Chains A and B, each alone.
Chain A
Amino acid sequence: MSLYQYDTIDTQMLEDRAAEFRGQVARRLSGELTEDQFKPLRLMNGLYLQLHAYMLRVAIPYGTLSGAQLHTLADVSRRFDKGYGHFTTRTNIQFHWIKLGDTPDILDEMAKVGLHAIQTSGNCIRNTTTDPYAGATAEELDDPRPWCEAIRQWSTFHPEFTYLPRKFKIAVTASAKDRTAARAHDIGLKLRRNRDGELGFEVMVGGGMGRTPHLGPTIREHLPARHLLSYLAAILRVYNRLGRRDNIYKARIKILVTSLGAEEFGRQVEAEWAAMDKAAVDLPDEELARIRGAFGLIDFETLPATSVAFEARKTADLAFARFARNNTAPHKTPGYVIVNIALKTPGEVPGDCSADQMDAIADLASRYSFDDVRVTHAQNLVLPHVKLDDLGAVFDTLSAIGLAAPNLDLISDIIACPGLDYCALANARAIPIAQHIAERFAEPDRAEQIGELKIKISGCINACGHHHVGHIGILGVDKKGEEFYQISLGGSGAEDASISSILGPALPAPRVTEAVETLVETYLGARKDGERFLDTYRRIGAAPFKEAVYADAD
């Protein structure tokens, strides 16, 4: 077993929460509680009231699912929703068509397999995210998941940090290549070793999206790993006490870090930490070892680095070769490969997955990937441990369920928030824009020729679609009741993190795809060998792109 298994204590925590919520829902349905009284209670259980129905956001801690959990999500979507779910940029899943009266049963069903909706909303510490390749990639210094699990437990129902000024998001990465957008989080943690070989974390604080995007500055280069929880507690305590509460738009920790300055903020954290009884907060070595052991060492077979079956199929089947080229990544173990499932088939809704697809992927996981599925912040799924010998069979199943799009990190692998199709906060739709662009660039040869290009679309300034860190970011705005889209360029959520810059005036919906086409043509005309769109943009600047897009504007 390679995943953390909930013990009696973990399970009873979920049961207790589900029982409490059942009582609260009953009081709401009987009229004993008004919607005003019920709202904060339902929000603590991930239940939002959206444009058309209730939306339930289910936590997927650090984006890791077992086959059984994915089967349960499929069941829930079939029995209680319209037969699909939507994976989010927080590596959670949302069900958009939920009836209030069903929610206690849903929580009970999920608790049986260790799933829940705890802290998926509200001003608390949200789901921690990590590298979807954790435990599989040779790039990582160490497995980040035990630390994520330690954070999950510590932050669950933390009595001091349940009523923070605003929501709080933590990401943990352990590779040089950052697949978590760590610097765009309230706290980004990067595992590293110091000169003495001691394991520790680089601590970045104050990143975030929203209307004032920030990349979090590093406040400590190397925090000894065993002190992670006490140091987090010190940061949270400083934030809880000093973060602004007078204005919801200035309440995130990024505003506090910016107003104090990273150095002064770091000094206050260090002072708080120095005075703290660390031993009372940090996990004892035995518990860290227990958690680490629970992720286990997988019994990988000893295999040759190359597979005859894989090579033969690649030669014979160009579609398979393309999938292998674009959607797989090297595994740390010879003979294995990391497989990405892009929930981005052109024309489909980014991040959506049907119940039948979930069941099929769960079966693939249990048969071919040690019962392990990951969710990525780009709204895709990963089978982290597939034998090269089995890749053909996995590809065939994915093709049969319509999820073999060979477009990982290509132009049609678009991040999009639910937008005005679902969300009460949105100014504009995001999904149809994503669908239209993806269909325009559906031709796989052309998409490969364009290369890595990350388009991210948000339906409003809250930036759930991460448009600030898109190579091309698209933001929906409302102009006198009409949907317009502001394009920005040059963002990145990876290790070369940057915030994108607005290109020019917002465009009406019908012109967006054309503008993307123009941006791509401009890039292809200017790029030098091996350059990605982002590299070319950084080299030549915004001017040529701006001229091209607005040249034919009236």
Chain B
Amino acid sequence: MPTLIRIEDGQCVEAESGFIHVADDEAIPTEHRSNLGGVILSLARFLTDGAALLDDGRSVGVRIEPAERVEDLAYDLPRIALIAPAFPKFRDGRAYSTAALLRERYGYRGEIRAVGDVAREQAYEMVRCGFTAFEPIDGSTPEQWARAAHIFRHVYQAAADDRPAAYVERSR
């Protein structure tokens, strides 16, 4: 399990995952085997098994592959603790749109966790699109992650992270 970096109260910190990734052919682990009993399922697995787990009071996260439509999950979002848009390759930028839609269109307040080919060169884009947790594979520390995410003192456009865009700064 890679280190998890999470943004808590605006700070990047090393954090307990609280969730384990469950592959489609794996059984759902019992609650006491994971720290908090949280599981991250594929979208397909969630659609078959998710409701029952949620009814049992389990914490459920959903991994969304780039080609999958977050729209299909819209109705269930209030009950989902975590969404994990996947980056199969760092060049694949679809997960940024997934995260932006979750925050901007659906007002999703839960954790959005970057999984897959995740490195600090993407920290700026990820944080701005609304990701709040990261499973980096490049060994990044929370300090390195925070520095990379704030490489620019200003931003030009509004995004999901609530940083004021340049035109807002200028009007002050």
Contacts and interface: CB of A to CB of B under 8 A. Distances in A.
A12 B167 contact: no
Contacts of A40: 90-91, 121
A446 B134 CA distance: 67
A44 to B, nearest CB: 9
Determine the interface band of chain B, counting residues with CB < 8 A from chain A: 20 to 34
A160 B100 contact: yes
Contact of A159 (B129, B153, B166): B129
B92 A163 contact: yes
B145 interface: no
Contacts of A290: 167, 170
B109 to A, nearest CB: 16
B157 A281 contact: yes
Nearest to B171: A286
A160 B155 CA distance: 13
Contacts of A276: 104-105
A280 B104 contact: yes
Nearest to A165: B93
Contacts of B159: 159-160
Nearest to A44: B121
A284 B124 contact: no
A188 B126 CA distance: 29
B88 to A, nearest CB: 10
Contact of A287 (B104, B126, B170): B170
Contacts of A280: 104, 158
Interface in B79-119: 90-94, 96-97, 100, 104-105
Interface in A1-42: 7, 9-10, 12-13, 16-17, 20, 40-41
Nearest to A15: B153
Range of interface residues on chain A? 35 or more
A520 B154 CA distance: 55
B52 interface: no
Interface string A146-170: 0000000110111111111000000
Contacts of B105: 275-277
Interface stretch (A46-54, A237-245, A301-309): A237-245
B129 A7 contact: no
Nearest to B87: A163
Given A153-B156, A154-B156, A275-B105, A284 B171 contact: yes
Contacts of B125: 159-160, 162-163
Nearest to A24: B121
Contact of B153 (A12, A154, A237, A240): A12
B169 interface: yes
A237 B169 CA distance: 26
Nearest to A10: B166
A13 B152 contact: yes
B170 A9 contact: yes
Interface in B141-163: 151-159
B103 to A, nearest CB: 11
Given A280-B104, A280-B158, A281-B157, A157 B152 contact: yes
B156 A157 contact: yes
A10 B169 CA distance: 12
A354 interface: no
A21 to B, nearest CB: 10
B93 A240 contact: yes
Interface string A247-283: 0000000000000000000000000000111001101
Most chain A CB atoms below 10 A, which of B66, B129, B154: B154
B96 A159 contact: yes
B128 interface: yes
Contacts of B169: 9
Interface string A92-109: 000000000000000000
Given A123-B91, A164-B93, A157 B167 contact: no
A161 B104 CA distance: 15
Contacts of A7: 170
Contact of B94 (A9, A12, A240, A277): A240
Interface in A158-213: 158-164
B129 A160 contact: yes
A186 to B, nearest CB: 16
| A240, A275, A276 pick with most chain B CB within 10 angstroms | A240
Interface string A365-390: 00000000000000000000000000
B170 to A, nearest CB: 7
Contacts of B129: 159-160
A325 B127 CA distance: 56
A163 B96 CA distance: 9
A474 B47 CA distance: 55
Contact of B92 (A12, A156, A157, A245): A245
Nearest to A275: B105
A150 to B, nearest CB: 10
Contacts of B167: 153, 283-284, 286-287, 290
Interface of B: 66, 90-94, 96-97, 100, 104-105, 121, 124-129, 151-159, 166-167, 169-171
Given A40-B90, A287-B170, 10 more contacts: A157-B124, A159-B127, A163-B93, A163-B125, A241-B94, A245-B66, A276-B105, A280-B104, A284-B171, A290-B167
Interface of A: 7, 9-10, 12-13, 16-17, 20, 40-41, 123, 153-154, 156-164, 237, 240-241, 245, 275-277, 280-281, 283-284, 286-287, 290
What are the 5 A-B residue pairs with the smallest beta carbon separation, nearest first?
A163-B93, A159-B128, A287-B167, A159-B125, A153-B156
24 contacts: A7-B170, A9-B169, A10-B166, A13-B153, A13-B156, A16-B153, A123-B93, A153-B166, A159-B100, A159-B126, A159-B157, A160-B125, A161-B93, A161-B96, A162-B93, A163-B91, A163-B92, A163-B93, A240-B94, A245-B66, A245-B91, A280-B158, A286-B167, A290-B170
